[in-house]
Amino acid sequence: MNDNTSAFPAPMHAHQSERGMTLRDYFAAKAMAAQIQHAGCDNIGEEKLSGWAYVMADAMLKERSK
């Protein structure tokens, strides 16, 4: 799942080429921060943690679309 919805929608100006963070990225960042705060990440590894965060983000987007 790839949702390109903007996390913080705002009108684009002529000089802008990107809208910024997607909602998927925002959800993944929140999931990752919660995991690090709750359980740490010393024994998980960065790649596994970031992959898990996007799995959680995709699940949140799926639930949100219901």
Beta-carbon contacts of 56 under 8 Å, excluding residues fewer than 6 positions away, are 27, 28, 31
pTM: 0.71
Average confidence (pLDDT) over 1-8: 70
Other C-beta atoms closer than 10 Å to the C-beta of 24 total 19
Strand runs labelled E in the chain: none
Q: How confident is the model at residue 5 (pLDDT cuts 50, 70, 90)?
A: confident
pLDDT band at 60 (very low <50, low <70, confident <90, very high): very high
In a domain, 41, yes or no: yes
Q: Quick check: is 46 in a domain? A: yes
26 three-class SS: helix
Q: Is 57 part of a structural domain of the chain?
A: yes
pLDDT of residue 21: 83
How much is the average pLDDT of 32-58? 84
The confidence band for 17, taking pLDDT boundaries of 50, 70 and 90, is low
* Structural domain contains residue 6: no
Domain limits for position 53: 23-64
Q: How far apart are CA 49 and CA 52, in angstroms?
A: 5
Within-domain flag for 29:
yes
The answer to whether position 54 is within a domain reads yes
Average pLDDT over residues 22-33: 92
Number of domains in the chain: 1
